[in-house]
Amino acid sequence: MGKIGINIAVFLLAFSVASGQNIQYSSRISLGFPVYSQYLQNGLVLNPAYAGTREVLSSFLSYRIQWIGTKGSPMLQSVSFHSPMKNDKVALGMMAQFMQYGVTKSTSIYANYAYHIRLRKGKLSFGLKAGTDISKTDYTSLLLNDPADPVFKSNDKAFVLPNIGAGIYYVEDRYFAGLSIPAFLNYHRNGNGSTVPYHSFGQYEFLLTAGTLIPVSELLKLKPSFLLDYSLSNSKRISQFDINANFIIADLIWAGASWRISEQVAVGILQMQINNQLMLGFSYDYPYGRMNTYSKGSTEFILRYEFSYKVSAANPRYF
């Protein structure tokens, strides 16, 4: 119990340190949560407390093309690893994301730490993450009406934006729920082009997700869930709201759909659990709102491989 108390104290201390500033500048830099469609197979992208909850060394790759048919549309790649340690209470993870949109390239690299507490029916996990976001814009590659415009004669300075986040996650055989704050710090760009960190509770973004597993028959299971992205700085408050439903057929095929209400997007998902270690997945986002005029949708490919021969694998995990 003493070790549990120490870990919870560290978690709360990190939260309070991150909340100790309140500086105001101009030209705020937005640090939004990237849009994924198959995040349910890689909970680390939502919550650092997810690290180690699959009870094996889990690796994940994804490649996403956003807004097909739109020039300069975002392309997002991610790679992650996470695993419980030998004592099963501590887990570590690493996640990197690489995004290109227009003439801007950005990279995010974060280390994750989670502490697990075994409960009667499930597991409660507290998580922290720390890392940096790096963004660089190449203005010289733009086609301009006035090539002599001094604003675009040189490249923008690279933004290096360190940050920390935290989360809490609960999972058992039939249910899961998680709440996280992806970033405690925000950044402003001052007059000389440099970036300055600041903290404001009013800029917080909360990611809330939950779901359950419903056995329908011996070969069929239903997994409904939702994701709510709630931002205190957004006038609409809700940045993203997804309702998801997955049918798991013979623990082999995962066929599902999502309705992203906030963006008027319908998502179709097809995943295959090749064996106990390997999963492949594909999703297609269809915009049925105003974006339908400008985009042919978005696609995403995933691969998850779990090294169950190195770490003892439990029963098939659905969360």
Look-up of token digits 């696609």:
299
Phi, psi dihedral angles at 15 (to 5 degrees): -65, -45
Selected residue with higher pLDDT from 68 and 154: 68
Residue 190: count of CB within 10 angstroms of its CB: 11
Mean pLDDT across 230-235? 82
Chain-centre distance of CA 104, in angstroms?
Answer: 20
Q: CA-to-CA distance for 36 and 50, rounded, in angstroms?
A: 16
pLDDT value, residue 102: 84
pLDDT value, residue 98: 94
Among residues 264, 198, 182, 197, the alpha carbon closest in space to that of 231 is found at 182
Q: Which two tokens stand for residue 3?
A: 């070790």
Look-up of token digits 């909970």:
43
Mean pLDDT across 263-273? 94
Residue 217: count of CB within 10 angstroms of its CB: 6
pLDDT value, residue 103: 84
The CATH class that applies to domain 2-130+163-202+260-306 reads: mainly beta
Phi-psi region of 52 (alpha: psi -120 to 50; beta: other; left: phi over 0): left
pLDDT value, residue 260: 92
Confidence of residue 33 (pLDDT cuts 50, 70, 90): low
Q: CA-to-CA distance for 30 and 228, rounded, in angstroms?
A: 19
Among residues 32, 41, 50, 40, the alpha carbon closest in space to that of 93 is found at 50
Q: CA-to-CA distance for 90 and 228, rounded, in angstroms?
A: 27
pTM confidence score = 0.85
pLDDT value, residue 209: 97
CA 181, 256, 108, 190 dihedral sign is: negative
Give the tens place of pLDDT for each residue, 43-65. 999 999 999 999 999 999 999 99
Q: Which two tokens stand for residue 267?
A: 């998502």
Helix/strand/coil for 179: strand
C-beta separation of 230 from 250 below 8 A = no
pLDDT value, residue 283: 97
